[in-house]
């Protein structure tokens, strides 16, 4: 089945589908994969923009609730539900994995080593993601090229070998100003932490505001070497 999906992916690339407008691409994908498209939101500015695009469609929206999110993130979640009347399905860590890990390592072991931090990310994010993606053919994300040097060579449509799924990044080439202007124009609710220097918002213990001139990702896992700052959700070869 994955080989068939990879062939479809290649046809999409050959036909330059990704160069169409976001609305046109979404409609095309919905016709091609009814009930097999999902969108992962962390309630970031980018994800709020995408929610505005998919709100009236059959695209499934989900989020990964790690149990360590900011209260402002939950507030944004509530505002999004209220404004758009959308169902956001939450996926949580498996208690049979999390509880023994906390018992052995402690609640904040991610500060003590990269291995512990990655293990925490795996339990709280990567494994729930795999459950969320199961049964879907398209995974829509809010990745942007500005987020990281590793993403500058990405295409809007890519094949995710790890999860055997086609990924679509509709805002890949949008600038931060593009995102902010769209939010203002459409009056989209967003996480107020963005107004306090938080540009990339994850778990509360692992995220801080950045200072002027700092890299976009400097606020995530700030105690680690920059080359090790990934959580395993988006693996780029």
Domains and CATH numbers, the chain: 2-192 (3.40.50.620)
Return the pLDDT at 237. Answer: 46
Return the pLDDT at 98. Answer: 98
**Phi (first) and psi of residue 152, to 5 degrees:** -70, -20
Q: Burial-class residue 98 by CB neighbours within 10 Å (0-12, 13-18, 19+).
A: middle
Return the pLDDT at 230. Answer: 62
State the pairing for strand pair 157-160/165-168.
Answer: antiparallel
Return the pLDDT at 4. Answer: 92
What pLDDT tens digit does each residue of the chain (237 aa) get? 577 999 999 999 998 888 899 999 999 999 999 999 999 999 999 999 999 999 999 999 999 999 999 999 999 999 999 999 999 999 999 999 999 999 999 999 999 999 999 999 999 999 999 999 999 999 999 999 988 766 667 899 999 999 999 999 999 999 999 999 999 999 999 999 999 999 989 999 999 999 888 887 789 898 987 655 565 565 544
Contacts of 56 (CB under 8 A, 6+ apart): none
| pTM, rounded to two decimals | 0.92
3-class secondary-structure state, position 135: coil
- Give kind and range of the element (H or E) at residue 72: helix 71-84
For the annotated catalytic residues, the residue numbers are 231
The residue written with tokens 């512990």 in the block is: 116
Return the pLDDT at 169. Answer: 97
Return the pLDDT at 212. Answer: 85
pLDDT tens-place string over residues 174-233: 999 999 999 999 999 999 999 999 998 999 999 999 988 888 778 989 898 765 556 556
Return the pLDDT at 213. Answer: 82
**Phi (first) and psi of residue 119, to 5 degrees:** -65, -40
3-class secondary-structure state, position 8: helix
Return the pLDDT at 232. Answer: 54
Q: How far is CA 202 from CA 3, 92, 193, 198, in A?
A: 34, 15, 11, 10
Return the pLDDT at 1. Answer: 54
Please say whether the beta carbons of 69 and 43 come within 8 A.
Answer: no
Give the Cα separation of 109 and 59 in Å (integer).
36
């Amino acid at each position: 089945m994955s080989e068939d999906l990879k062939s479809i992916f290649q046809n999409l690339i050959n036909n330059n589908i990704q160069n169409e407008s976001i609305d046109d691409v979404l409609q095309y994908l919905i016709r091609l994969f009814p009930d097999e498209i999902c969108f992962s939101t962390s309630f970031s500015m980018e994800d709020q923009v995408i929610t505005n695009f998919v709100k009236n469609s059959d695209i499934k929206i989900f989020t990964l609730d790690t149990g360590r999110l900011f209260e402002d993130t939950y507030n944004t979640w509530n505002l999004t539900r209220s404004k758009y009347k959308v169902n956001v399905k939450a996926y949580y860590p498996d208690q049979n994995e999390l509880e023994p890990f906390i018992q052995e390592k402690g609640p904040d072991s991610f500060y003590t080593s990269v291995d512990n931090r990655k293990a925490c990310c795996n339990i709280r994010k990567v494994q729930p993601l795999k459950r969320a993606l199961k049964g879907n053919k398209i995974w829509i994300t809010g990745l942007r090229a500005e987020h990281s040097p590793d993403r500058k060579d990405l295409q809007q449509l890519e094949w995710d070998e790890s999860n055997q799924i086609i990924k679509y990044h509709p805002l890949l080439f949008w600038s931060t100003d593009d995102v902010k202007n769209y939010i203002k124009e459409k009056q989209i609710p967003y996480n107020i932490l963005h107004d306090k220097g938080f540009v990339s918002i994850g778990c509360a213990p692992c995220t801080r505001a950045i200072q002027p001139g700092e890299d976009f990702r400097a606020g995530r896992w700030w105690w680690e070497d920059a080359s090790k700052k990934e959580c395993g959700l988006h693996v780029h070869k």
